[in-house]
Structure 1
């Protein structure tokens, strides 16, 4: 906002006001972030034809698995899905979940995406859900 309006004095808020707003927003989202992600992907599934989104929660109601793929990803899979690569090395400390992109190489030697998942464990059961 400072850059867009030419300085904090033109924004109508101080630098500290902006920092406090971001801190409050982060605190709120911290309690509802999984719900917000599920809601956003559910909305996308409802409005976008061919969008695939599935999730599960554990007995505590915590997000356990989340998978999504759009129509282009599904077409990529049909065309280039002979060999699938997935790298489950992206862990987040806050959620202890693994981000798993499912990718391959197209006929131009470029990466294409088939879908992505967030998993609470790297067990066979976690992958077989989808």
Structure 2
């Protein structure tokens, strides 16, 4: 769906219309959004993790205050990562606040394989 440019809500509306109403669909719109998110995660390839590491290394060259850390599980799969650039460090020193984006909220088993570099 999303590859073809069809919005999730439009697809759900079409399915409901074809089924003769929401009561005949058998799932809710939230289920569709969860499935679409899961499907997108399944398309993530190993190259994405390698690209992330290359991006972090390149950024460290440009910004000497850029720091990053990745955590791998026992099978060397990317578990999570954290980064902080020089500007963020200056902002923290000035304001004492931190903003964290947890994109794993309500998602299961994000698995990316990271080869040794």
The TM-score, its normalising length taken from structure 1, stands at: 0.42
The TM-score, its normalising length taken from structure 2, stands at: 0.46
Query: Structure with the greater relative contact order (CA < 8 A, sep ≥ 6): 1 or 2?
Result: 2
Which structure: greater helix fraction? 2
